[in-house]
Amino acid sequence: MLQIGKNAPAFSLPNQDGEKVSLRDLRGFKIVLYFYPKDMTSGCTQEACDFRDELTPLKKLKAIVIGVSADSPASHKKFREKYDLNFDLLSDESKEMLETYGVWKEKSMYGKKYMGIERTTVIIDEFGKVSHIFSKVKVTGHVQEIKKALQAK
């Protein structure tokens, strides 16, 4: 279970190019780790494009943006290229990290229950500790929330 002030669980996952990205390699940066359900869907595309469009102000706040879903690296590569995304997308096909971070949950649509990713953003500070958790994220205005949280630190 994630807790603010506690160490973020370690991870090492392939990005869209198949290169491993590990939490320990990102020390010294604030990490905006956002979990999203699926590449190429409307809400996920909007969220990714919002982060893309605000990446420069986020970088000025010493933050790195990383998206995570259960899609394959190949799917991430297509998604990244189609929308000119300027940050890494990590693939957790095993769902191990998704479960560790508590975002792989039972969901319901039209009365049908299924397992999926609950849209969540976690901010990890320069020392690897969880500083913010945004659960059940609404896409509209979310990046502004993230910027405010980063500025408050």
Instruction: Determine, yes or no, domain membership for 140.
Output: yes
Instruction: Determine, yes or no, domain membership for 15.
Output: no
Instruction: Determine, yes or no, domain membership for 10.
Output: no
pLDDT band at 153 (very low <50, low <70, confident <90, very high): low
Q: What is the pLDDT at residue 108? A: 84
Known catalytic residues? 44
Instruction: Determine, yes or no, domain membership for 6.
Output: no
Instruction: Determine, yes or no, domain membership for 8.
Output: no
Which structural domain, as residue segments, surrounds residue 52?
Answer: 27-152
pTM above 0.75, yes or no: yes
Instruction: Determine, yes or no, domain membership for 16.
Output: no
Q: Are 147 and 61 in contact (CB under 8 A)?
A: yes
pLDDT tens digits for range 36-71: 999 999 999 999 999 999 999 999 999 999 999 999
CA distance 117 to 90: 14
What CATH number is associated with residue 96? Answer: 3.40.30.10
Over residues 19-27, mean pLDDT: 94
- CA distances (Å), origin 77, targets 57, 71, 94, 147, 153: 24, 10, 18, 26, 33
Instruction: Determine, yes or no, domain membership for 112.
Output: yes
Q: Where are the beta strands (DSSP E) in the chain?
A: 12-14, 20-22, 30-35, 63-69, 88-91, 104-109, 112-117, 120-124, 130-134
Q: What percent of the chain has pLDDT over 70?
A: 99
pLDDT tens digits for range 69-128: 999 999 999 999 999 999 999 999 999 999 999 999 988 888 889 899 999 999 999 999
CA distance 20 to 151: 29
pLDDT band at 19 (very low <50, low <70, confident <90, very high): very high
Number of domain units in the chain: 1
